Amino acid sequence: MNVLCVVSHPRKDSLTFQVADRFVQGLAEAGHDYEILDLHGIGFDPVLQGADEPDWSAAKQSFSPEVEREIRRMKEHDALAFIFPVWWWNLPAMLKGYIDRVWNNGFAYGSNHLQHQHVLWIGLAGVSKEQMEKRNYDKMITHLLNVGIADYCGVSSSNVEFLYETLDSDSKHYEMLLNQAYHLGLKYAKERGSAV
Protein backbone atom coordinates (compact mmCIF):
# COMPACT_ATOMS: atom_id res chain seq x y z
CA MET A 1 0.00 0.00 0.00
CA ASN A 2 0.93 3.61 -0.44
CA VAL A 3 0.32 5.45 2.84
CA LEU A 4 0.02 9.22 3.25
CA CYS A 5 1.36 10.09 6.74
CA VAL A 6 0.09 13.49 7.84
CA VAL A 7 2.10 14.98 10.72
CA SER A 8 0.88 17.94 12.74
CA HIS A 9 3.42 19.57 15.05
CA PRO A 10 5.18 22.95 14.82
CA ARG A 11 8.64 21.56 15.73
CA LYS A 12 10.64 19.12 13.62
CA ASP A 13 12.64 18.10 16.72
CA SER A 14 9.47 17.07 18.58
CA LEU A 15 8.59 13.61 19.82
CA THR A 16 5.71 13.70 17.32
CA PHE A 17 8.18 13.77 14.43
CA GLN A 18 10.36 11.09 16.05
CA VAL A 19 7.26 8.91 16.29
CA ALA A 20 6.50 9.63 12.61
CA ASP A 21 10.03 8.61 11.62
CA ARG A 22 9.82 5.32 13.52
CA PHE A 23 6.32 4.65 12.21
CA VAL A 24 7.42 4.96 8.58
CA GLN A 25 10.43 2.72 9.29
CA GLY A 26 7.91 0.07 10.23
CA LEU A 27 5.82 0.80 7.14
CA ALA A 28 8.87 0.44 4.88
CA GLU A 29 9.93 -2.83 6.50
CA ALA A 30 6.40 -4.16 5.99
CA GLY A 31 6.70 -3.36 2.26
CA HIS A 32 4.54 -0.25 2.15
CA ASP A 33 5.36 2.94 0.29
CA TYR A 34 4.74 6.22 2.09
CA GLU A 35 4.89 10.00 1.93
CA ILE A 36 5.22 12.23 5.00
CA LEU A 37 3.14 15.39 4.79
CA ASP A 38 4.37 17.96 7.31
CA LEU A 39 1.49 20.43 7.57
CA HIS A 40 3.58 23.12 9.28
CA GLY A 41 6.48 22.48 6.92
CA ILE A 42 4.39 23.20 3.81
CA GLY A 43 2.81 26.23 5.49
CA PHE A 44 -0.69 24.81 5.25
CA ASP A 45 -3.36 27.36 6.14
CA PRO A 46 -5.92 25.66 8.40
CA VAL A 47 -8.45 28.49 8.18
CA LEU A 48 -11.42 27.68 5.95
CA GLN A 49 -12.17 30.69 3.74
CA GLY A 50 -15.06 31.24 1.34
CA ALA A 51 -13.48 29.40 -1.61
CA ASP A 52 -13.48 26.17 0.40
CA GLU A 53 -16.84 26.47 2.09
CA PRO A 54 -18.90 23.34 1.37
CA ASP A 55 -21.74 23.95 -1.08
CA TRP A 56 -24.37 21.44 0.03
CA SER A 57 -26.39 22.00 -3.15
CA ALA A 58 -23.50 20.99 -5.45
CA ALA A 59 -22.62 17.37 -6.27
CA LYS A 60 -19.13 18.45 -7.38
CA GLN A 61 -17.19 21.48 -6.28
CA SER A 62 -13.95 23.26 -7.14
CA PHE A 63 -11.84 24.55 -4.29
CA SER A 64 -8.87 26.85 -3.72
CA PRO A 65 -5.58 25.84 -5.41
CA GLU A 66 -4.11 24.77 -2.04
CA VAL A 67 -7.00 22.43 -1.30
CA GLU A 68 -7.11 21.05 -4.86
CA ARG A 69 -3.37 20.26 -4.52
CA GLU A 70 -3.96 18.37 -1.27
CA ILE A 71 -6.92 16.49 -2.76
CA ARG A 72 -4.66 15.36 -5.62
CA ARG A 73 -2.04 14.29 -3.07
CA MET A 74 -4.61 12.22 -1.16
CA LYS A 75 -5.77 10.55 -4.39
CA GLU A 76 -2.21 9.31 -4.98
CA HIS A 77 -2.41 7.17 -1.81
CA ASP A 78 -4.68 4.31 -0.84
CA ALA A 79 -4.27 4.52 2.95
CA LEU A 80 -3.80 7.25 5.56
CA ALA A 81 -2.07 7.80 8.89
CA PHE A 82 -2.24 10.87 11.11
CA ILE A 83 0.37 11.55 13.79
CA PHE A 84 -0.35 14.39 16.20
CA PRO A 85 -0.28 15.55 19.83
CA VAL A 86 -3.59 15.40 21.68
CA TRP A 87 -4.33 18.99 22.70
CA TRP A 88 -7.45 19.80 24.75
CA TRP A 89 -8.64 16.20 24.17
CA ASN A 90 -8.80 16.80 20.45
CA LEU A 91 -6.83 17.27 17.25
CA PRO A 92 -4.48 20.26 17.02
CA ALA A 93 -6.06 23.20 15.17
CA MET A 94 -3.70 22.68 12.22
CA LEU A 95 -4.89 19.11 11.67
CA LYS A 96 -8.54 19.96 12.32
CA GLY A 97 -8.25 22.72 9.71
CA TYR A 98 -6.68 20.29 7.23
CA ILE A 99 -9.67 17.97 7.60
CA ASP A 100 -12.13 20.89 7.47
CA ARG A 101 -10.66 22.17 4.21
CA VAL A 102 -9.41 19.06 2.38
CA TRP A 103 -11.94 16.40 3.39
CA ASN A 104 -14.59 18.47 1.70
CA ASN A 105 -18.02 18.05 0.13
CA GLY A 106 -18.04 16.08 -3.13
CA PHE A 107 -14.61 14.60 -2.38
CA ALA A 108 -14.76 13.03 1.08
CA TYR A 109 -18.51 13.06 1.69
CA GLY A 110 -21.70 13.95 -0.13
CA SER A 111 -21.79 12.68 -3.71
CA ASN A 112 -18.42 10.91 -3.27
CA HIS A 113 -16.51 9.30 -0.45
CA LEU A 114 -12.83 8.73 0.18
CA GLN A 115 -11.21 5.90 -1.77
CA HIS A 116 -8.87 5.01 1.09
CA GLN A 117 -8.98 1.53 2.58
CA HIS A 118 -7.51 2.28 6.00
CA VAL A 119 -6.81 5.19 8.34
CA LEU A 120 -4.73 5.09 11.51
CA TRP A 121 -4.75 7.94 14.02
CA ILE A 122 -1.73 8.07 16.36
CA GLY A 123 -2.32 10.55 19.18
CA LEU A 124 0.48 11.50 21.57
CA ALA A 125 -1.02 12.14 24.99
CA GLY A 126 0.83 13.82 27.83
CA VAL A 127 -1.41 12.09 30.37
CA SER A 128 -1.43 8.47 31.54
CA LYS A 129 -3.81 5.81 30.23
CA GLU A 130 -5.71 6.01 33.53
CA GLN A 131 -6.10 9.79 33.27
CA MET A 132 -7.29 9.45 29.66
CA GLU A 133 -9.88 6.86 30.68
CA LYS A 134 -11.02 8.70 33.83
CA ARG A 135 -13.67 10.78 32.06
CA ASN A 136 -13.87 8.59 28.94
CA TYR A 137 -11.69 10.96 26.93
CA ASP A 138 -10.24 7.96 25.08
CA LYS A 139 -13.70 6.77 24.02
CA MET A 140 -14.82 10.27 23.08
CA ILE A 141 -11.77 10.91 20.86
CA THR A 142 -11.91 7.42 19.34
CA HIS A 143 -15.60 7.78 18.49
CA LEU A 144 -15.07 11.21 16.93
CA LEU A 145 -12.21 10.03 14.70
CA ASN A 146 -13.51 6.57 13.78
CA VAL A 147 -17.21 7.34 13.38
CA GLY A 148 -17.65 11.10 13.12
CA ILE A 149 -14.87 11.56 10.57
CA ALA A 150 -13.57 8.33 8.96
CA ASP A 151 -16.81 6.34 8.69
CA TYR A 152 -18.75 9.43 7.61
CA CYS A 153 -16.28 9.73 4.73
CA GLY A 154 -16.50 6.07 3.73
CA VAL A 155 -13.38 4.66 5.43
CA SER A 156 -14.63 1.62 7.34
CA SER A 157 -11.24 0.48 8.69
CA SER A 158 -10.26 3.25 11.09
CA ASN A 159 -8.22 2.78 14.26
CA VAL A 160 -7.03 5.13 17.00
CA GLU A 161 -3.85 4.41 18.96
CA PHE A 162 -2.64 6.53 21.87
CA LEU A 163 0.96 6.88 23.02
CA TYR A 164 0.75 7.85 26.68
CA GLU A 165 2.81 9.98 29.07
CA THR A 166 4.72 11.75 26.32
CA LEU A 167 5.88 14.45 28.75
CA ASP A 168 7.87 11.88 30.73
CA SER A 169 11.55 12.77 30.18
CA ASP A 170 12.84 9.25 30.90
CA SER A 171 14.81 8.02 27.88
CA LYS A 172 13.64 4.42 28.38
CA HIS A 173 10.02 5.53 28.28
CA TYR A 174 10.66 7.52 25.07
CA GLU A 175 12.28 4.48 23.48
CA MET A 176 9.25 2.39 24.43
CA LEU A 177 6.97 4.94 22.73
CA LEU A 178 9.15 4.93 19.61
CA ASN A 179 9.07 1.13 19.55
CA GLN A 180 5.28 1.28 19.76
CA ALA A 181 5.26 3.58 16.74
CA TYR A 182 7.59 1.26 14.82
CA HIS A 183 5.32 -1.74 15.49
CA LEU A 184 2.24 0.24 14.44
CA GLY A 185 3.95 0.83 11.09
CA LEU A 186 5.10 -2.78 10.83
CA LYS A 187 1.57 -4.06 11.45
CA TYR A 188 -0.28 -1.35 9.55
CA ALA A 189 -3.58 -2.66 8.09
CA LYS A 190 -2.87 -6.24 9.26
CA GLU A 191 -5.68 -7.71 11.31
CA ARG A 192 -7.35 -4.31 11.46
CA GLY A 193 -11.05 -4.82 11.12
CA SER A 194 -13.46 -1.96 11.25
CA ALA A 195 -13.34 -0.13 14.55
CA VAL A 196 -16.53 1.81 13.91
Confidence label for 182 from pLDDT (cuts 50, 70 and 90): very high
Report which of 193, 187, 189 is spatially closest to residue 30, judged by C-alpha positions.
187
Ranked by mean pLDDT, the top range of 14-23, 164-173, 183-192 is: 14-23
Provide the sign of the torsion angle of the four alpha carbons 179, 141, 84, 69, taken in this order. Answer: positive
CA angle, 177 as apex, 175 and 173 as ends, to 5°? 55
3-class secondary-structure state, position 51: helix
Domains of the chain with bracketed CATH: 2-186 (3.40.50.360)
136-168: string of b/e by CB count within 10 Å (b at 16+)? ebbeebbbbbbeebbbebebebbbbebbbbbee
How does pLDDT run across 116-161, given as a tens digit for each residue?
A: 989 999 999 999 999 999 999 999 999 999 999 999 999 989 999 9
Integer Cα distance of 173 and 82 in angstroms: 22
Quick one: pLDDT band at residue 169, thresholds 50, 70, 90? confident
φ, ψ at 81 (rounded to 5°): -140, 140
pLDDT at 196: 41
**Nearest of 28, 15, 54 to residue 167 by alpha carbon:** 15
What is the pLDDT averaged over residues 48-63?
91
What confidence tier does 171 reach under pLDDT thresholds 50, 70, 90? confident
Confidence (pLDDT) at 58: 84
Q: 170 pLDDT exceeds 90?
A: no
| Inter-residue contact 25 to 182 (CB < 8 Å) | yes
pTM (2 decimals)?
0.94
